[in-house]
């Protein structure tokens, strides 16, 4: 192919019978001669994942700060994660940037009637860093979220400019409490100050969007009932393509398609179990939603990795919890419901228990990092080409404050993140300053402000 000058366009789909599967990056997508001249095609912009976990962190409490239960004691490049809830990330410290001591001021109450409503406005502030208007009506207003600012500029040439995923039920309408519309806690992505974007909880729905499982709902249901894969619809086209590719590309294509098939198989197994008549832990959840938190999170991470590999989208927001959630995470070793556990009452034992739940949540991230590192693209892998933001708009949940909020960044962001860094901001620094700097590292240097930012925050150690 390189000799004849032919090459496969980057935006190539394998189509058939309602399925539309985008290809991963292949060497055959490099125009003829470029490999020999040492110049690769221009790399896609950095992929962005913004993950919110509600209820802050044990390490934001006075005792937690003393014990370094979230951020380590050392700053710069020499720090010990062993005592902190970030310890599961030790193997990935070269891709880890910790940003400590920033405040989410937009989530604070500014009027007496807003006091007590922290759980019902916090999520809306995480990526907007703006203060939500207190209303239970349709006149909602907060700000544009940073993921959507990025998608406007770098997501418009992908089939899906951005996707929004979640783990818990966020389908509540109307007012929630303290005069706030439920939409403020139901989403973290805002296309405009009054345009919240819905989040997808069901892995089946996300899968069908990403891989073009077309036809009517009845046709899709019939295909699943017949235990057919979407890949069965493109078998002929796959065989034709394999004959046109070099051996390295054939191996890469086969791994990619097998990953799709495995994710589809897991979703099907979840649906079969959840429609078997067996009692469910989450009886209100769609059939495609696993009762297991860990399995649900992993399916969502696998879908994000596959979407990045095929360049179907470059932007995800992922809401891993819902404020005031009473979910129990037995795998964490703590049997207390999440929200009650966050109200630790200042008890040292309770704070340590809550830190253990925080550690369990952070412990889900290495699975995603592993998947991204396994996916090659050009001369590197997707972890080097991705920015993953993980944090919370709440600090110490026991008192519902928004100071010293947890925030970490993972990945290489196409060389724009150093990694192995712990940055300690000056007291009172808005998290918006850090988010603004991250936008700059994403290639949006001309963005001068975000939410209540007062300037950028240096990310250099």
- Which of 4-8, 143-147, 447-451 shows the lowest per-residue confidence on average (mean pLDDT)? 4-8
Do 346 and 457 sit in the same domain of this protein? Answer: yes
pLDDT score of 423: 98
- pTM score: 0.94
Q: Following CA atoms 389, 394, 397, 400 in sequence, which dihedral angle do they give, to the nearest 10 degrees?
A: -170
E-strand ranges in 311-358 read: 315-319
pLDDT score of 120: 95
pLDDT at 445 over 60: yes
Give, in order, the Cα–Cα distances in Å from 152 to each of 140, 162, 190, 449.
Answer: 21, 9, 12, 16
Do 278 and 242 sit in the same domain of this protein? Answer: yes
Rounded CA separation 255/202 (Å):
25
- Last residue of a domain, which of 288, 323, 355? 288
pLDDT at 226 over 70: no
| Residues 382, 47 contacting (CB under 8 angstroms) | yes
307 domain-assigned = no
74 domain-assigned = yes
Do 223 and 357 sit in the same domain of this protein? Answer: no
pLDDT at 217 over 70: no
pLDDT score of 398: 97
pLDDT at 8 over 90: no
CA 371 distance to own-chain centroid: 13
pLDDT score of 3: 34
pLDDT score of 233: 85
Which CATH number covers residue 425? 3.40.720
Average pLDDT of span 137-146: 96
319 domain-assigned = yes
- Which of 217-226, 233-242, 385-394 shows the lowest per-residue confidence on average (mean pLDDT)? 217-226
* Band (305; pLDDT cuts 50, 70, 90): very high
For the chain, the domain total comes to 2
Do 280 and 371 sit in the same domain of this protein? Answer: no
pLDDT score of 5: 40
Q: What is the pLDDT of residues 177-208, one digit of tens each?
A: 899 999 999 999 999 999 999 999 999 999 99
Handedness of CA 361, 363, 367, 373 (dihedral sign): positive
Do 324 and 178 sit in the same domain of this protein? Answer: yes
Average pLDDT of span 15-21: 79
DSSP 322: -
16 domain-assigned = yes
- Last residue of a domain, which of 256, 288, 320? 288
206 domain-assigned = no
Average pLDDT of span 108-131: 96
Do 170 and 283 sit in the same domain of this protein? Answer: no
pLDDT at 39 over 70: no
Q: What is the pLDDT of residues 85-104, one digit of tens each?
A: 999 999 999 999 999 999 99
| Residues 461, 77 contacting (CB under 8 angstroms) | yes
Do 181 and 323 sit in the same domain of this protein? Answer: yes
pLDDT at 437 over 70: yes
Average pLDDT of span 416-421: 96
235 domain-assigned = yes
Rounded CA separation 431/106 (Å):
10
Q: What is the pLDDT of residues 148-181, one digit of tens each?
A: 999 999 999 999 999 999 999 887 666 788 999 9
pLDDT at 35 over 50: no
Contacts of 276 (CB under 8 A, 6+ apart): none
pLDDT at 40 over 50: no
pLDDT score of 16: 77
Q: What is the pLDDT of residues 325-351, one digit of tens each?
A: 999 999 999 999 999 999 999 999 999
444 domain-assigned = yes
Do 28 and 160 sit in the same domain of this protein? Answer: no
pLDDT at 381 over 50: yes
pLDDT at 227 over 80: no
**Helix or strand holding residue 263 (H, E):** helix 247-274
| Residues 79, 91 contacting (CB under 8 angstroms) | no
Where in the sequence is the domain holding 192, given as residue range(s)?
48-201+295-301+312-461
* Average pLDDT score, the chain: 92
Rounded CA separation 151/301 (Å):
19
| Residues 132, 125 contacting (CB under 8 angstroms) | yes
**Helix or strand holding residue 319 (H, E):** strand 315-319
| Residues 438, 409 contacting (CB under 8 angstroms) | yes
Paired tokens of 345:
């009452």
Average pLDDT of span 52-72: 97
Write the secondary structure of 110-141 as one string of H (helix), E (strand) and C (coil): CCHHHCCCHHHCHHHHHCCCCCCCCCCCCCCC
| Residues 352, 214 contacting (CB under 8 angstroms) | no
Do 276 and 138 sit in the same domain of this protein? Answer: no
For strands 19-22 and 13-16, give the pairing. Answer: antiparallel
Contacts of 269 (CB under 8 A, 6+ apart): none
Average pLDDT of span 223-234: 74
- Residue 284: phi and psi, rounded to 5, are -85, -10
Do 112 and 195 sit in the same domain of this protein? Answer: yes
Do 24 and 171 sit in the same domain of this protein? Answer: no
Rounded CA separation 401/39 (Å):
51
Report the share of the chain in percent with pLDDT over 70: 91
Do 34 and 75 sit in the same domain of this protein? Answer: no
357 domain-assigned = yes
């Amino acid at each position: 192919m390189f000799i004849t000058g032919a090459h496969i366009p980057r935006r190539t789909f394998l189509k058939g019978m309602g399925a539309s599967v985008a290809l991963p990056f292949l060497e055959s997508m490099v125009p003829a001669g470029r490999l020999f001249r040492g110049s690769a095609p221009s790399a896609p912009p950095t992929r962005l994942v913004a993950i919110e976990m509600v209820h802050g962190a044990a390490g934001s409490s006075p005792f937690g700060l003393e014990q370094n239960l979230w951020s380590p004691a050392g700053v710069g490049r020499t720090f010990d994660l062993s005592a902190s809830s970030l310890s599961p990330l030790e193997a990935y410290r070269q891709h880890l940037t910790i940003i400590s001591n920033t405040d989410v001021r937009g989530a604070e109450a500014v009027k007496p009637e807003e006091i007590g409503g922290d759980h019902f406005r916090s999520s809306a502030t995480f990526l907007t860093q703006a203060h939500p208007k207190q209303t239970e009506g349709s006149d909602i207003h907060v700000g544009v979220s940073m993921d959507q600012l990025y998608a406007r500029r770098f997501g418009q040439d992908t089939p899906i400019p951005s996707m929004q995923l979640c783990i818990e039920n966020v389908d509540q309408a109307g007012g929630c409490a303290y005069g706030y519309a439920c939409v403020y806690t139901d989403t973290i992505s805002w296309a405009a100050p009054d345009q919240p974007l819905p989040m997808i909880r069901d892995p089946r729905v996300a899968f069908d969007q990403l891989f073009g499982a077309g036809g009517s709902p009845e046709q899709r249901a019939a295909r699943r009932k017949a235990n057919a894969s979407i890949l069965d619809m493109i078998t002929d086209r796959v065989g034709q393509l394999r004959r046109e590719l070099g051996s390295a590309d054939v191996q890469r294509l086969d791994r990619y398609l097998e990953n799709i098939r495995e994710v589809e198989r897991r979703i099907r197994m979840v649906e079969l179990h959840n429609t078997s008549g067996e009692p469910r832990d989450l009886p209100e959840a769609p059939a495609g939603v696993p009762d297991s938190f860990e399995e649900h999170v992993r399916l969502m991470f696998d879908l994000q990795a596959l979407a990045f590999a095929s360049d179907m989208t470059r932007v995800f927001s992922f809401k891993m919890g819902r404020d005031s959630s009473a979910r129990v995470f037995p795998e964490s070793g703590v049997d207390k419901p999440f929200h009650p556990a966050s109200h630790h009452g200042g008890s040292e034992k309770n704070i340590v228990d809550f830190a253990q739940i925080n550690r369990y949540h952070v412990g889900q991230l290495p699975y995603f990092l592993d998947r991204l590192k396994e996916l090659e693209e050009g001369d590197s892998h997707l972890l080097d080409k991705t920015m993953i933001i993980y944090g919370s708009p709440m600090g110490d949940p026991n008192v519902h404050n928004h100071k010293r909020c947890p925030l970490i960044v993972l990945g290489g962001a196409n060389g724009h993140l150093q990694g192995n860094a712990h940055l300690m901001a000056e007291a009172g620094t808005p998290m918006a300053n850090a988010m603004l700097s991250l936008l700059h590292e994403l290639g949006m240097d001309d963005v001068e402000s975000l939410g209540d930012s007062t300037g950028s925050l240096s990310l250099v150690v």
